[in-house]
Structure 1
Amino acid sequence: MSEWTDAIVGERMAVDNRFNDRVASSRFSSQEWGLIMTATEFEIEHSDDPENARIVADTSNLPAIMPELKNVRDQVSAMGGTPGGGGDGGSGGSGGVLDSIKGALGLGGSGGGAAPSDEEVEAAERLVQEYADELQAHLEEVGKWEQVRIAYQE
């Protein structure tokens, strides 16, 4: 099934560019968004039904990568930057860079911080599905949706 996604790489780049503003207004930074997207796969639901076929995001791997989002935020904070989006940001610890390095090496005492909240996972899932909807709308707009839908079935 990866052939269909390989065939739309250029279209995804166009959607990525259009979707950047949406990511910027979300709670996630562009680095966090990239991580979220690496854990997401896209499928076409009801691919055999042209009227009801739609791109859906398989987000089943998101909970596994969500703790890494905290690491990304901590690294940005430790470097003096501000975490992207509306995330809660700051490291809250007193060690800053040293704690961040120790955490990256697995030497931190906290075990990598708190588990991701259900709210954060749900926010990521909503944003990824918005992206999937935007991708399908773009494919329809440029006349490639039917071709992609059929390629998915093969």
Structure 2
Amino acid sequence: MTDDWQDLIVGARMSVDQQFADRVQASGLSRPQWGLVMTAVEFAFENADDPETARIVADTSSLEHVLPEMDNVDQQMGAMGGGGGGSSGGSGVVGGIKDALGIGGGDDDHEELADESRELAQAYADQLQAHLEDEGRFEEVRRAAASE
């Protein structure tokens, strides 16, 4: 019963994924990088017991595990000539040249990437909640989360 409320939002997530694609494209993350972010992010309810303050939040505590791979996937896409979206510090052709020269890169770039990933993940959670509210399903999902 742990994923009960999560099961209720599968269709809503598919809709939000489509709506959110433009936001990802406008960000500094490529689509493959965003895909990795979404594998590391879990959605949770904050204050599920309180209908007035309940909200969906993005738990990004596992994000650090995919950050190194985010650089790799973007470099691989760049090498194949596909980038597919923005690139963030240390990734892509310019990032590869900087890395080769020993300029930039490192923890600052990872921190910027992590910050942007966290912000986007929470924006996605907010949009998911708004979608559920618009569909009149948020209260049902909140109750399911509160009962877990």
In the alignment, which residue of structure 1 is the partner of 2:66? Answer: 65
Given candidates 126, 131, 137, the residue that maps to 1:133 is 126
Structure 1 unaligned residues grouped into runs of 5+: 95-112
Cα distance in 2 for residues equivalent to 1:135 and 1:52: 16
Q: Is the 8 A contact 2:25 2:85 kept in 1?
A: yes
Q: Is the 8 A contact 1:67 1:114 kept in 2?
A: no
Taking every aligned residue pair, what percent have the same amino acid on both sides? 49
Matched position secondary structure for 1:117: helix
Cα distance in 2 for residues equivalent to 1:121 and 1:43: 19
Q: Is the 8 A contact 2:32 2:74 kept in 1?
A: no
1:146 and 2:139 are equivalent in the alignment:
yes
Cα distance in 2 for residues equivalent to 1:63 and 1:83: 23
| TM-score under structure 1 length normalisation | 0.82
Larger radius of gyration: 1
Cα distance in 2 for residues equivalent to 1:72 and 1:86: 11
1:54 and 2:47 are equivalent in the alignment:
no
In the alignment, which residue of structure 1 is the partner of 2:11? Answer: 10
In the alignment, which residue of structure 1 is the partner of 2:85? Answer: 84
Cα distance in 2 for residues equivalent to 1:37 and 1:143: 25
Cα deviations by residue, 1:73-120 (Å, 9 ceiling, x for unpaired)? 1101111223521424223378xxxxxxxxxxxxxxxxxx84552121
Cα distance in 2 for residues equivalent to 1:87 and 1:121: 10
Structure 2 unaligned residues grouped into runs of 5+: none
| Matches for 1:89-104 after TM superposition, within 5 Å | 89-90=92-93, 91-92=96-97
Cα distance in 2 for residues equivalent to 1:114 and 1:87: 12
Cα distance in 2 for residues equivalent to 1:72 and 1:83: 11
Cα distance in 2 for residues equivalent to 1:117 and 1:36: 13
What RMSD over aligned residues (CA atoms) do the two structures have, in Å? 1.7
